[in-house]
Amino acid sequence: MHKIVFLFLILAATLTAKSAEQNPFDRNCVPCHTSVGVSLRKTFMNALLVYSGKENMKAGLAYFLRYPRKDISVMGEKYFATHALKEPTTLDRRELEEALEIFWERYKVIGHLR
């Protein structure tokens, strides 16, 4: 019996790890932002100030991630005094779409005000 429970836990841990590994947002965006010390929440709120709606934001950010330029970044000029401009993303279109969808759902304001 103990063996069965142990094997089940091993299997669940493996699947969870696999799932996290397959999420392009957690795999690409989170580690990068963590390493440069820029909060994803702060980034989202900055993006919200510029893009307002979900589709608009996803389209705007997708373009920036593929063709990064300082003048179209949501981070502002001060940010680039201490940080370099990011490299173009290596994610394909589908992964980028998925990552941005997760980004929106994780930090969105709609449904979180009271």
At 64, which amino acid appears? F
Q: Which long-range contacts (CB under 8 A, 24 or more apart) does 46-52 make?
A: 46/74, 46/75, 46/76, 47/74, 48/109, 49/74, 50/74
Among residues 17, 21, 34, 41, which is the contact residue for another protein, using CB under 8 A?
A: 41
- Binding segment for another protein among 6-14, 19-27, 49-57, 71-79 (CB under 8 A)? 49-57
List binders of another protein among 55-114 (CB under 8 A). Answer: 55-56, 109-110, 112-114
Of 4 and 110, which CB lies nearer to another protein in the complex structure? 110
In angstroms, rounded to a whole number, what is the distance separating the alpha carbons of residues 109 and 105?
Answer: 9
Of 32 and 48, which CB lies nearer to another protein in the complex structure? 48
- Binding segment for another protein among 1-9, 21-29, 40-48, 93-101 (CB under 8 A)? 40-48
Pick from 76, 94, 95, 98: nearest CA to 85 = 76
| Nearest distance in Å: CB 41, another protein | 7
